[in-house]
Amino acid sequence: MKLHRPGTWIHYETQGQGPPVVLIHAISTGSRMWTRQVEAFTDHARVITFDARGVGRSGNLTGPRHIRDQISDDIAALLDELGEESAFICGVSFGGVIAQHFAATHPHRVEALMVVDSYGDSRPLSLSRAAWLASVYAGSVSNFLPRTLLTGLMQQAYRQWPEAAAHLADAVRSLRPWQAFYTRNAINLVNYLPAITLANYPVWFVLGEDSWWRSERFATEFAAAVPRAKLIRVPDSADPTPLCQPETFNDILRNALIETGHVKND
């Protein structure tokens, strides 16, 4: 289905009946990465997935500025379209940043928050953080590499997780380089910890233990700053964990949905 937004449109899908659960994909992967989760939870919840602007079956960005605000407002408009006041919000990697931005800008619409393989505060407050931030800004130009090369790099990097390798290789084949470049740079420098610390909804931070460098430090910093956050590490997994270890991730998400009453404990 298509949600018309100023200057663009958002492709979305909703399946199942019950409490709403919004799943926000990793950068450039699109909503198809959530196939395993849609299959697992549509008997118990209303699962809402979408392609962020600039990705997949959605329209282009409307410019390189205010991208996080625009995507967060797209989610709010989507909930309005579906007649949902609030939802369980889950985002992975890029989607984890967007999930936190949505929580910071639309806090009354968040029933619970799950952040996967992401970060809540990336300000360059130390040499390690500054080096990481510089590396991701520099790495954003990789979106302009030949697609055959990018596809091969993805398949090689995720060779121990064939399902993730296949999904990510497909995402690279349909990549829109400038859209991905702008989006990648829009999420690099953030600080959501003050807003999330002050909120009262449940929070989970899920981390694949084989994710990118500094991911463990970001996770422990997040857990320390948000005392009510539950930090869950997933062995033999990288970013994005829902593709690398889908069954384990589904168990984590199911337990969170049971705890918040979104899914009954059968």
* pLDDT tens-digit map of 212-228: 999 999 999 999 999 99
Residue 266's pLDDT is what? 66
How far apart, in whole angstroms, are the C-alpha atoms of residue 36 and residue 246? 7
Looking at the DSSP assignment, which residues form a beta bridge with residue 10?
A: 3
**What mean pLDDT do residues 195-223 have?**
96
Tens digits of per-residue pLDDT, 236-263? 999 999 999 999 999 999 999 999 998 8
Give the Cα separation of 187 and 64 in Å (integer).
12
Taking the whole predicted model, whether its pTM rises above 0.95 is answered as yes
Per residue in 66-121, pLDDT tens?
Answer: 999 999 999 999 999 999 999 999 999 999 999 999 999 999 999 999 999 999 99
Q: For all residues of the chain together, what is the average pLDDT?
A: 96
DSSP strand pairing (46-50 vs 8-15): antiparallel
Give the DSSP letter of residue 56.
T
Phi/psi region, residue 15 (left: phi>0; alpha: psi -120 to 50; beta: rest), is beta
Q: Is 225 exposed, middle or buried (0-12, 13-18, 19+ CB in 10 A)?
A: middle
- Model pLDDT for residues 40-80, shown as the tens digit of each residue: 999 999 999 999 999 999 999 999 999 999 999 999 999 99
For the chain, percent of residues with pLDDT exceeding 90? 98
Residue 262: what pLDDT?
87
Dihedral, CA atoms, 145, 149, 150, 155, nearest 10 degrees?
Answer: -170
Q: For the residues 159-168, what does the mean pLDDT come to?
A: 97
* CATH numbers and ranges of domains, the chain: 2-123+190-259 (3.40.50.1820)
How far, in Å, CA of 217 to CA of 4, rounded?
A: 39
Q: Are 21 and 45 in contact (CB under 8 A)?
A: yes
Percentage, residues of the chain above pLDDT 70: 100
Greatest pairwise CA separation for the chain in angstroms: 49
Q: Residue 265 has what pLDDT? A: 74
Pairing of strands 46-50, 2-5: unpaired
